[in-house]
Structure 1
Amino acid sequence: MIEAVWIAFAFVLGLIMRQVGLPPLIGYLAAGFALAGFGDMFGVQPQDSSVLAHIAHLGVLLLLFTVGLKLKLKNLIRPEVIGGSLLHFGLSVGLYFPGLLFFLDIGTREALLLAIALSFSSTVLAAKVLESKRELRAFHGRVAIGVLIMQDLIALVVISIASGKSPSAWALLVFVVPLLRPLLYKLLDMSGHEELLVLLGLFLALVIGGLGFESVGLSSELGALAFGAMLAGHKRAGELSQSLWSLKEVFLVGFFLQIGIGGLPDMDALLFAVVMGVLLPIKAILFFFLFLLFKLRARSAFLSSMSLANYSEFGLIVASVVLPEWLIPLAVTVSVSFLVSAPLNRIAHPLYERLSKRLIPMERDIRHPDEQPVTLSDAEILILGLGRTGRAAYDRLHEKGYRVVAMDSDPAAIEASIKAGRRARFADAEDQVLWQSLEMPEVHSVIMAMNDAEAKTIAVRKLRERGFDGLIVAHAMFDDIAERIMEAGADKTYLTMSEAGAGLAEQVDRELIRRGEMRASAAPPSPNPPA
């Protein structure tokens, strides 16, 4: 009965938010507060939230595990990630602390811990938004996730120090964990493609990573992330992530419900949340200028900052351990930040296009190594996207003698293609600065093979705006997306599933003709041939 009420509230309010153009997760947050206020009418008691808290925790562990599956540790050891996160943490605490101490009637220790809790950004929201836009592996996505992981590590240190707890001596065993990678690879190879694969993901994320790290005094979240990251280099990491997708999404609904179900806020909590919401742009602006300091372009700095413009569920974890009296005010503050951040992240790319003329002049003259301008030299055909479609198109055109080059925003895809002998370059097709500086003197055809429809639309429009009059071809899953790409200036758009069906039919037709010819040639000659 209780689970039915949770599901009903989450679905109805999530659907309402979707219909008005807001992310469903805002509806889940609203459902949590609705259950806190009216749960008694439906038989939901406060003690029931402990079950929901457990479900929410599983959702966070699964999310961090799948984030880890898409990460490479070398992407975290970057100046913009380490320097940006540490500098932002120090500056944020320095800005929040005196204000909290002056305006609130609290002690120095309480003000300091509250400032620390407010300095973090939401790993759950940012990862979910970036994943939904397929930008986890884009340059700005990797920077944002790297900063969030650094913040999570800082939060774990703060919790350990403030709570007086410390890891046990057994925690040293975590240094042996990387040695288990060959075994993990073997288990992943042996698990097949069905339910055993899902169980392996749950086993590593919740049992070995989550419970294992927790049992030695470390964070279960860190354990789930670590075991996901160890499998990131395996060729089936993407398949494992996809197999856990539905479970992760359902459990994360519990996370958003649990934020609000803890209790209704009073006027002081609402006022605190509103003030912190007004101050939220300070967090984004500070990130933006720090990223510019570390040589990022304005576009990458802006998109990364937008992903980090929110308050963190880790702030709630800090509060639950060392500031329990601030748990509800912080929960409302996190909810308000989600209400602001989630819609803004949905329009981040169009918003940057509007602001780009003001933001680009703020860039440093020195370019980040991952964002150098690209020259395509003698290439005749440009392929954007190095997924299965892009790789297949590259290989077929290369076989036919064309000079082909491909671009992608995923360093792993670039590295794999270079090893396979393809000409591949790092670039983000949605970056308008790329299209302004890209040198492509002999390119006469462009193939849009990216997954994201918005990326294809923007890239087509930017190509036409720069004066490219060659052939532009794209693929799309749905008619409305194909229409949008054509309106942006593409010459031809192929519906992927329709073309696949037509291709299968063509293969069947050829095979039937071949077999008919074989039967005809194998048949014995007629004893009475016609005159």
Structure 2
Amino acid sequence: MVFSQIALLFGMACLFAIISFKLKQPLIVGYVFAGLILGGFGILTKDSKILDLGEIGVSLLLFLVGLEMDISDIKKIGRTSFVFGFFQIIATSILGFLLSKIFGFGTVPSLYIAFSLTFSSTIIAVTLLSEKRELNSLYGKVSLGYLLVQDLFAILILIFLGGGSHTDPNFYISLIAKAVGLLVLVWFLAKKAMPVVFAYISASAELSFVFSISWALVFSAVVAGPFGFNLEIGGFLAGITLSTLSQHTHIASKTRPLRDFFLVIFFLLLGMRANLNSGISNILIPFLGFSFFVILIKPLIELTILRFLGFKKKTSFLVSIGSSQISEFSFILMSLGLTLKHINSEVVTLVVLVGLITMVVSTYLDRYADLIYKHLSKYLSIFERNKISEVYPQEVHDFSNHIILIGCDRTGKNLLSYFMKHKKEFVVIDFNPEVISSLASLSIPFVFGDASDPEILSSAQISKAKAIVSTISRLNDNLVILSEFNKTENKPISIFTASTKTDALRLYEMGASYVVVPESAASEHIRHILQTYLGSKSKLQIKGKHHFERLMATI
């Protein structure tokens, strides 16, 4: 019976995943929707053995989260992303809780709902940013930074819920003591035990994989048994114990397919646990209210916070619109709450439906973000500080025959060193507050703002420039910049950066002097090195040493 149930589960999952893929939606939407159909129409009943398989999927998901969570990632979050993430969690959860109480939910269910509405999907964000090649853009970095803060907070909630339902203060004192002991054990395993084990077994890739999966499941069982936490936290901590290994990337890549197999079951079962047959009319108004909250109110909260952090309206808008959905952690939280009997199936149904609609809507919002911004730009000015000079005082320069450098992160930073060394007259346009603070401290001329804004380009005196160099790769922004540049009487040199060859051709058609495509540039450079140094290893090593020194000088 279990075999036929699993066959039906995966058949439906595959069907709805194909539909989701064709509609350019996250596959999670297809899995959950398939579960809704199977459970809602009584096609399949929930079996405890299949439920156990779903728990394995969540445990492996958190195992990979822990495995890929290097301490250096936490250090890289940065003050801005941490502050943004912290206040976003506080503000959104409070308003979500109040809205839930208005709809008549109890205190405990309201807390679950509030946190579920607060979290945004890291998986969806990374997928969409990757598709648009925006992972290294300013708004991409801010988004990933604050989503990491959310993930850490979600882990803390799961740890807290690991104790189950208890009112005795002594129980929680005991729980804290166990948590401290568990963290000490994790530290010992990560620093002392696991490096020794993998030094012995790493010669066999198959053995390393089998050991890693076994370790994830065994450690989860130990954490859920003697320590009294849940399996999910066990999986996360098992991943942490392996995260410092040099092989952790290899382990993660091998584990993902197995994780995805079990996660399909989890999301299917989550959809099945949402009861569509009883009282849908009772949750219709809350469903509409919470969906409106996630799609509109949550982004407005984030826009407000980012305004006070000094970001320009376009960056704030792109970050906010990308978070207008709930997270896979929201689903895990609902599943755990139902298991602990803190909430009922009606609340699960409500959050699952909110998750489906917000994931679908947010995907389209993100894909058409530039078009939406174009129509809303003038109304978004309230989310931008009117007097930038109050935040970043800047001297007004009378530029002439100068270079305009757009973007001063990574590539732009290297060009900055070149301009200063050769005493070139230049001005930087950037809308990253941290970059602008650095430029101000070095007394480097800058204009704080979005380079696709004609007024910002005018402030940089584009009409008098002898060259413009754009290190940003957003095609729409570069087209606007190039269009403004072409309006000047003296049309000097224009150098742009493009993510793809197609984008580069579009910029050339618009009149760009030269377009750099990083992938093509890298292959051309490698070809040059091979032609020059293939027969002389010693000369190549000398060149490599000089390159190393230059790289170190720019860190």
| TM-score (structure 1 length as normaliser) | 0.68
Q: Alpha carbons of 1:228 and 1:204: their partners in 2 closer, same or farther (altered >3 Å)? A: farther
How far 1:457 sits from its partner (Å)? 0.9
The amino acid across from 1:460 in the alignment is N
Partner of 1:93: 97
Cα distance in structure 1, aligned partners of 2:184 and 2:36: 43
Identity between Structure 1 and Structure 2 (%): 16
Cα distance in structure 1, aligned partners of 2:314 and 2:190: 39
Query: CA offsets per residue over residues 250-294 of structure 1, 9 Å max, x none?
Result: 554444333213365125236525642343223442552465256
Q: Alpha carbons of 1:90 and 1:508: their partners in 2 closer, same or farther (altered >3 Å)? A: closer
Q: Alpha carbons of 1:16 and 1:287: their partners in 2 closer, same or farther (altered >3 Å)? A: closer
Partner of 2:112: 117
Alignment of 1:465-476 (within 5 A): 467=485, 470-476=493-499
CA contact 2:81–2:142 (8 Å) conserved in 1 = no
Partner of 2:57: 55
Partner of 2:22: 19
Cα distance in structure 2, aligned partners of 1:373 and 1:243: 51
Cα distance in structure 1, aligned partners of 2:271 and 2:104: 24
CA contact 2:190–2:240 (8 Å) conserved in 1 = no
CA contact 2:447–2:460 (8 Å) conserved in 1 = no
Q: Alpha carbons of 1:513 and 1:290: their partners in 2 closer, same or farther (altered >3 Å)? A: closer
Cα distance in structure 1, aligned partners of 2:166 and 2:142: 36
Partner of 1:280: 291
**Unpaired runs of at least 5, structure 2:** 130-134, 538-555
Alignment of 1:354-369 (within 5 A): 354-364=375-385
The amino acid across from 2:338 in the alignment is A
Q: Alpha carbons of 1:124 and 1:514: their partners in 2 closer, same or farther (altered >3 Å)? A: same
Cα distance in structure 2, aligned partners of 1:71 and 1:125: 18
Q: Give the number of equivalent residue pairs.
A: 492
Is residue 2:48 matched to residue 1:36?
Answer: no
Q: Alpha carbons of 1:260 and 1:350: their partners in 2 closer, same or farther (altered >3 Å)? A: same
Alignment of 1:74-89 (within 5 A): 75=79, 78-89=82-93
Query: CA offsets per residue over residues 85-119 of structure 1, 9 Å max, x none?
Result: 22332232122213225xxxxxxxxx222222221
Cα distance in structure 2, aligned partners of 1:376 and 1:237: 51
Q: Alpha carbons of 1:512 and 1:331: their partners in 2 closer, same or farther (altered >3 Å)? A: closer
Cα distance in structure 1, aligned partners of 2:300 and 2:151: 15
| TM-score (structure 2 length as normaliser) | 0.65
Q: Alpha carbons of 1:34 and 1:372: their partners in 2 closer, same or farther (altered >3 Å)? A: farther
The amino acid across from 2:125 in the alignment is L
2:178 aligned residue (161, 170, 181): 170
Partner of 1:269: 280
Q: Alpha carbons of 1:255 and 1:305: their partners in 2 closer, same or farther (altered >3 Å)? A: farther
Is residue 2:471 matched to residue 1:459?
Answer: no
Is residue 2:326 matched to residue 1:315?
Answer: no
Cα distance in structure 1, aligned partners of 2:110 and 2:526: 60
Q: Alpha carbons of 1:500 and 1:159: their partners in 2 closer, same or farther (altered >3 Å)? A: closer
The amino acid across from 1:260 in the alignment is G
1:341 aligned residue (359, 362, 383): 362
SS in structure 2 of the partner of residue 310 of structure 1: coil
The amino acid across from 1:306 in the alignment is I
The amino acid across from 1:339 in the alignment is V
CA contact 2:58–2:232 (8 Å) conserved in 1 = no
The amino acid across from 2:343 in the alignment is L
CA contact 1:380–1:445 (8 Å) conserved in 2 = yes
Cα distance in structure 2, aligned partners of 1:201 and 1:374: 58
Q: Alpha carbons of 1:324 and 1:474: their partners in 2 closer, same or farther (altered >3 Å)? A: same
Query: CA offsets per residue over residues 388-442 of structure 1, 9 Å max, x none?
Result: x888988999999979999999999x8xx99xxxx9x999979869956985876
Alignment of 1:21-420 (within 5 A): 21-36=24-39, 47-63=49-65, 65-66=67-68, 70-72=73-75, 75=79, 78-101=82-105, 111-121=106-116, 126-132=121-127, 133=129, 134=135, 138-147=141-150, 149-150=152-153, 153-154=156-157, 157=160, 160=163, 162=165, 164=167, 166=172, 167=175, 169-173=177-181, 176=184, 183=191, 187=195, 195=205, 199=209, 206=216, 214=224, 216-218=227-229, 252-262=263-273, 264-266=275-277, 268-269=279-280, 272=283, 275-283=286-294, 284-285=296-297, 288-289=300-301, 292-293=304-305, 295-296=308-309, 297=311, 298-311=313-326, 312-313=330-331, 314-321=333-340, 322-326=342-346, 327-364=348-385, 380=403, 382=405, 384=407
CA contact 2:447–2:459 (8 Å) conserved in 1 = no
**Unpaired runs of at least 5, structure 1:** 102-110, 516-531
The amino acid across from 2:54 in the alignment is L
Query: CA offsets per residue over residues 130-173 of structure 1, 9 Å max, x none?
Result: 21212796224423442454355356546757555742622113
The amino acid across from 2:99 in the alignment is L
Cα distance in structure 1, aligned partners of 2:253 and 2:413: 21
- Greater shift after overlay, 151-160 or 204-213? 204-213
- Greater shift after overlay, 23-32 or 111-120? 23-32
